[in-house]
Homo-oligomer: A and B are copies of this chain.
Amino acid sequence: MDFNLNADMAESYGTWVMGNDEALLPIINSANIACGFHAGDYNIMANTMRKAMENHVSIGAHPGFYDLHGFGRRPINLSVNEVEHLIAYQLGAAMGAAALAGAKVTHVKPHGALNNMAANNIDMAMAIARAVKAVDASQIFLAPVLSQLVVAGDKCGLSVAQEIFADRAYMPDGQLAPRSRPDAMIDDPDMALTRSLAMLVEHKITAIDGTTLPITPHSLCVHGDGPSAVAMAEHLQTGLTEAGLVAKTLPEMMV
């Protein structure tokens, strides 16, 4: 049985640094590269892609709302046409940066508020999937399990990789528990590992109220920011490997 560890990357901007990409790259298998709209810039993107390649980490475009000050975490109401344009531009930009770096963009994962809104809005999810397909139909579409993004990716005929979170609790309807809840975050590395194994091997999520949700996950998202992020990622990568699972990049997973 195989698995994939993904993390958001290249979220620095100009002289501002965010996250710890250097430390995470040897641990993860796939990197979601911010595309300059909510974070990242043309230099950071190309440079991070070069380092990802050196670490045998596959590369994804991580497009977000055009909102540096809000880091793409604030809902912005766009028409479906605007969402298509938003995605096409950023995926293209990532592909351009990758071509220069001698790399290849192999997946797309929307960021922040864009991801959250589309997870529950089929029109927005379809706009994202359509744009990905129009720009490069061979892209893997990395989408949260049980979300409208999975539905949209399927409908558009994209290869859909389904994503779970190691360190987040789930609601009975399959959505992430809002961060405002005290039990939303799973900080204990052992509990995160146990939950990840259950999700990956038994194909089920146990929600906050005990409900069991069947899933077919491919990739586990870990976070790059926060003081204990690298240790958590390392614990999960090691624990899953020791449990007999085989780490793969997304293109290796989805063949």
Residues of A at the B interface (CB closer than 8 Å) are 12-18, 36, 41-43, 45-47, 66, 68-71, 73-77, 81-82, 84-86, 88-100, 102, 131, 134-136
* Nearest Cβ on chain B to A11's Cβ, whole angstroms: 9
Report the minimum CB–CB distance from A165 to chain B (whole Å). 20
- B12, B47, B73, B95: the one contacting A95 at CB < 8 Å is B95
Complex formed: what's the CA distance from A191 to B77 in Å?
34
Chain B, residue nearest A73 (CB): B15
In the complex, the answer to whether B69 meets A14 with C-beta atoms within 8 Å is yes
Q: Is the CB of B69 within 8 A of A85?
A: no
Known: A41-B66, A100-B131. 19 other contacts (CB 8 A): A13-B16, A13-B69, A41-B69, A42-B85, A42-B90, A43-B85, A45-B85, A45-B89, A46-B88, A70-B76, A74-B76, A85-B100, A88-B100, A90-B93, A92-B93, A92-B95, A93-B93, A93-B96, A99-B135
Contact residues of A: prevailing secondary structure: helix
Q: List 17 A-B contacts (CB under 8 A).
A: A13-B69, A14-B71, A42-B86, A43-B82, A68-B68, A74-B76, A75-B77, A88-B96, A91-B96, A92-B94, A92-B95, A92-B96, A93-B96, A99-B134, A99-B135, A100-B134, A100-B135
Q: How many subunits of this chain does the assembly comprise? A: 4
Q: Which residues of B contact A15 (CB under 8 A)?
A: 18, 71, 73
Q: Enumerate the 7 nearest inter-chain pairs by beta-carbon distance, A residue then B residue, closest first.
A: A92-B96, A16-B16, A88-B100, A42-B89, A93-B93, A42-B85, A88-B96
Query: Within the assembled complex, what's the spacing in Å between the Cα atoms of A191 and B169?
Result: 54
Cβ-defined contact, B66 with A42, below 8 A: yes
Nearest B residue to A86, CB-CB: B42
